[in-house]
Structures are given as C-alpha cells and as structure tokens.
A and B are shown apart, each in its own frame.
Chain A
Amino acid sequence: MNVLEIEALSKDYRGVPALNSVSLTVKKGEFVAIIGRSGAGKSTLLRCINRLVEPSTGRIRVDNIEVTSLRGKGLRGLRTRVGMIFQHSNLVPRLTVIENVLHGRLGFKKTWAGLLGLYSLSEKQRAMDLLVHLGLEGQAHQRCDRLSGGQKQRVGIARALIQDPHLILCDEPIASLDPASAKVIMDELRRICDEQGITIVVNLHQVEVAVKYADRIVGIRAGQVEFNDAPKDLKKKIIASIYGQNHEDLLVEGVEE
C-alpha cells in the first residue's frame, strides 16, 4: 500500500522553478532518503506534501486522499496525520519540553482548547512516556532554549510521534548536529520506522548517512528526480551527476565506483 503518491509535482517561486514534474511513490513502512545539493528542491518537495508550501501544479495523495485541494479542517486533518521534524527543531523556545511535546496534539483540539492549551491527563501521560522513551524525562520541565541541539531534535521527534502520524517528514534533521547526536537521531528514526511501521521521508545532506539508513534513495537535481532506487545501486557516477560535480571532487565514502 502506498502512503504517499506524488504525480508530476511542479512548484515555482514567482516564475523561478523549484520543482519540475516530480513523481514519487512511497510505500507504507518505507524509509526513504532524499539527497541533492542545497537549493535542489528537497525542502520544497517535503513542504508541498503537508502544504506548508503551495504546489503550483501536480497531484499529491497521502493515504489515498488528494491533498492539493484541501482547505481549512481538511488541511489540518492532513497535517495531524503527517508529522514533521525540522533542521532547527522549530520548537517554541521559551516553553518547557513537555509543553512542546504536547503541541503535537493541537491539531486535534477544538478552537478554545487549542487557544488555552488544555490537554487531557492521558495526553500528558503519553507525552511523559515519550520523553522517558527518548531519555528526556529529566528535562521535561526545562525550557527548550536551554537544551542542546540533539536534545531539541529529540523533543521534535516526540512532538511528531504524539500525533500518531502515518508519515513523518524530516527536513535535514541532522544538518546542525554533532556526529554523535546525529547518530542518536538517525537510529531513533530508523527504529520508529522498524518498530512502529511509520513511514519516514528524510532530506539529507550526507550521502553516506542516506546509504546507511535508507531503504530507498531519491536523488534530486535542479528540481527533477535524477535517481530513485535502492542504496546499493547508487554508484559514484550517479552521485556525481546528482551533485553536478566530478566524483573525485566529492567527499563520499562507502559507495562503490
């Protein structure tokens, strides 16, 4: 079963093309990594899926529901089913860790409960369980602006998980982290995929991380899909064409010639 189906998706910003007829399907429980240069359109592609960016043309279906025409309640419903993790975590810095985790429930709330931030006991219990699971129970009542980058990213993961999403989109989740924290985050994403069957689509800078963790790699160059296959088929020549460089000029290890 396909969780995500993208057909001929294009997006331009005031005439400047960012995505050019991208088609892509992702099966339930798959771990897909999207690689490409900065500015290739990875972020735009991800943000079109939950409509943080409005697509120009093309179709996107999540759980077989067409999302490009959704508005209001329907759009909010889509976003509750799709979790998102950002490069800079995008938490509310002055609120506590547990408050930020509970924000993942806001999409399910009636207006007044959302405005006042009223959460049920079971939601709070669930948030606490997630923090325990992610090793953050000690920081539950600390403000997020006092956390390290890796800790913030784990709070971001908890905020996405409390939505019970079918799909999690990750936009450069480890680009601002040190290698040790990056490994913790990638291991966690892989585990979420394996143990809970949640589909993961992740934008990555580092080719070797994509090769190590993903079931499938999608290479994007100048808004177009250049490669879409298993990591083992990603050869150095293909990487070079995705990044538009000679492969001697790229810092990539663990990939066949």
Chain B
Amino acid sequence: MTRRVEQVFRDRNLMLWGLLVTLAVVVWLSALITEFDFGDGLASFPRALGWLVANFVPNQRALNNLPSILNRLGETVVVSVMATVLAALLAFGLALLGSRTTRPHPLFTPVVRAIGSLGRNIPVVAWAMIFLLAFGQTFVTGLLALLLESVGFLTRSFLEITDETAAEPVEGLRATGAGWGTVVAQAVVPTLLPSLTSWMLFMLETNIRSATLVGLLTGTGIGFSFDLYYKSLNYPSAALVTICIVVVVLVLEALSNALRKVIL
C-alpha cells in the first residue's frame, strides 16, 4: 500500500523534472538554431536603453505635432470602440445560440465554436492584410480586422460564462413558462452583465493597442503617425506618439476599473 503511494509521488516528481528538462532543451535548441547569444542579448540591453534615452525623447519640435497626433489618436480610439461594441453585440448573440443553456438546438454549439476559433486564431495582422486587398488603406480595413479578432475572442469568453453562470437562473425562468427572449432578457442579461462588461472593456484595451499595429499596415490612425515619424527619423515625435498611446491605455484602464466597480 505505502509502496503504491510512494510510487505515485515519485512518478509525479519525475514528470515535473522531465518537464523542466524538456523546457531547458527546447530553449537551448532554439537559441542554437537562431544563433542567439544570451550574453550578447543581455549586454545589448544597456546599449538599447542608452539609445532610447538619447534619441527617443519628445522635444519642442515634436510638441508642435501634438494636435495632429491627438487627432490621429482620436481616430484610433473611435475605430477601436466601434469594433469592440459591434463585436460584443455579435459575440453575445453567438454565445446565446451556442451555449448549452440557451441554444435553440445542440448543433449550433460546434458552429459557434468554429466561428469563435476562426476569428481568434487568425492574428489581427493577418486579418488586416486580407482586408487590405479588398478595401485598401482605409479605416474600414482596420475596423473589420479588429472586429473579427474581437468577435472570435469575445464569443469564446461569453460562451463560457453563459454556460457556467447562467444555467440555474435560466432553468428557473424556463420552469415558469417564460419564452426564450424573456429568459434571455430577465435571467441571462442581469446575471452576466458584470462579466460581459468586464470582458468588453478588456477587449477595448487590447483593441486600442492592436489598432496601433493595424494602423501601421492600413495607413490610418495613430499607427500611421508613428510609422511616418519613425521612417523620417523624427524620433522625438515617434516618442511622443508612444507616450500618448500609453496615456490613453492607462486612462482607459482607470475608467474601466471605475465602471466595473459601479456595475458589480
């Protein structure tokens, strides 16, 4: 009996050590393949920092660009908000169709899950490249790229929270004879409102960061400003753009934290 127990514990320890060794080997191999030198990597940190401090600091000339930077930043925020809100609505609809507790038919679940994975597993940059061909360098391209990625991500999260937290209230209301729409409006929405909002705000933060990246490709918004200044070697202005993005994301985080408190 005790030998069996010892065996179980020894097996578990062996597994843990095996995992650690495997990880170490993977890291070492990948360094070998990419000819990455850890010493060099560490040594370059101070140099990179030195360059940042010397060049990547906004100056008076950069501040003159502030109005146009803020303008572009505004565009980016608006596109992100639009993409997030639209995505949240679509994802909520999909989650209702796919969740075990609210689906009209069991066949909907795999379909909804597939739509979710498709949106989520193709990176936002790839979506942007795809839509670039169709819509060119316009904000529609960025909007659609963000929308699809967000629908994928939010569908998955909404589906899971609906399965986990709405099952009991939904059953309670179905038993009273309430119709499907009424059950959704009176049981699902009130139960899930805080988590839906939380996920949506999280998505918004992510989207503002991604929108910057997408803007680089589509030539719109703050990403375009960054690209422009960076390529024309105007590092102080590029630095100002970066600082503006960080400030917006921080303000947004503070806002969403405040909102979460109110809703919960």
Q: Give per-residue flags for B174-186: 1 if the beta carbon is below 8 A from chain A beta carbons, else 0.
A: 1111110110011
Residues of A contacting B175 in the complex (Cβ-Cβ under 8 angstroms):
50, 52, 79, 82-84, 86, 90
Beta-carbon contact of B186 and A76 below 8 Å: no
Beta-carbon contact of B181 and A79 below 8 Å: no
Beta-carbon contact of B177 and A92 below 8 Å: no
- Decide: A117 near B191, CB < 8 A? Known: A88-B168, A103-B176, A107-B177: no
Beta-carbon contact of B171 and A117 below 8 Å: no
Residues of A contacting B179 in the complex (Cβ-Cβ under 8 angstroms):
76, 111, 114
Beta-carbon contact of B190 and A77 below 8 Å: no
Beta-carbon contact of B182 and A94 below 8 Å: no
CA of A106 to CA of B175, assembled, Å: 10
Q: Give per-residue flags for A79-99: 1 if the beta carbon is below 8 A from chain B beta carbons, else 0.
A: 110111010111111110000
Say yes or no for B193: interface residue by CB 8 A criterion: yes
Q: Give per-residue flags for B185-216: 1 if the beta carbon is below 8 A from chain A beta carbons, else 0.
A: 11100110110000000000000000000000
Say yes or no for A109: interface residue by CB 8 A criterion: yes
Say yes or no for B62: interface residue by CB 8 A criterion: no
Cβ-closest chain B residue relative to A108 = B177
User: Which of A78, A90, A117 lies in contact with B172, CB distance below 8 A?
Assistant: A90
Residues of B contacting A106 in the complex (Cβ-Cβ under 8 angstroms):
173, 176-178, 182, 186
Beta-carbon contact of A90 and B169 below 8 Å: yes
CA of A80 to CA of B178, assembled, Å: 8
Q: How many residues of A contact B (CB 8 A)?
A: 35
B174, chain A: closest CB distance, angstroms: 6
B19, chain A: closest CB distance, angstroms: 36
Beta-carbon contact of A86 and B172 below 8 Å: yes
CA of A90 to CA of B190, assembled, Å: 14
Beta-carbon contact of B182 and A111 below 8 Å: yes
CA of A88 to CA of B191, assembled, Å: 15
Beta-carbon contact of B191 and A107 below 8 Å: no
Beta-carbon contact of B191 and A76 below 8 Å: no
User: Which of B174, B186, B194 lies in contact with A92, CB distance below 8 A?
Assistant: B186
Beta-carbon contact of A93 and B191 below 8 Å: yes
Beta-carbon contact of B177 and A91 below 8 Å: no
Beta-carbon contact of A86 and B176 below 8 Å: no
Residues of B contacting A105 in the complex (Cβ-Cβ under 8 angstroms):
176
Cβ-closest chain A residue relative to B187 = A92
Beta-carbon contact of A103 and B181 below 8 Å: no
Beta-carbon contact of A107 and B171 below 8 Å: no
Beta-carbon contact of A115 and B185 below 8 Å: yes
CA of A82 to CA of B174, assembled, Å: 11
A88, chain B: closest CB distance, angstroms: 6
A4, chain B: closest CB distance, angstroms: 16
CA of A83 to CA of B172, assembled, Å: 10
Beta-carbon contact of B181 and A94 below 8 Å: no
Say yes or no for A11: interface residue by CB 8 A criterion: no
Say yes or no for A166: interface residue by CB 8 A criterion: no
A36, chain B: closest CB distance, angstroms: 21
A240, chain B: closest CB distance, angstroms: 32
Beta-carbon contact of A109 and B182 below 8 Å: yes
Beta-carbon contact of B190 and A95 below 8 Å: yes
Beta-carbon contact of A117 and B187 below 8 Å: no
Cβ-closest chain A residue relative to B166 = A92
Residues of B contacting A109 in the complex (Cβ-Cβ under 8 angstroms):
178, 182
Q: Give per-residue flags for B29-70: 1 if the beta carbon is below 8 A from chain A beta carbons, else 0.
A: 000000000000000000000000000000000000000000
Beta-carbon contact of B185 and A117 below 8 Å: yes
Interface residues of A (CB under 8 A from B): 50, 52, 75-80, 82-84, 86, 88-95, 103-109, 111, 114-117, 156, 159, 163
Interface residues of B (CB under 8 A from A): 168-169, 171-179, 181-182, 185-187, 190-191, 193-194
Q: Please, could you name 10 A-B residue pairs with CB atoms under 8 Å apart, sorted by A?
A: A50-B175, A76-B177, A77-B177, A103-B173, A103-B176, A105-B176, A106-B173, A107-B178, A114-B181, A115-B185
4 interchain residue pairs of minimum CB distance: A107-B177, A90-B172, A114-B182, A79-B177
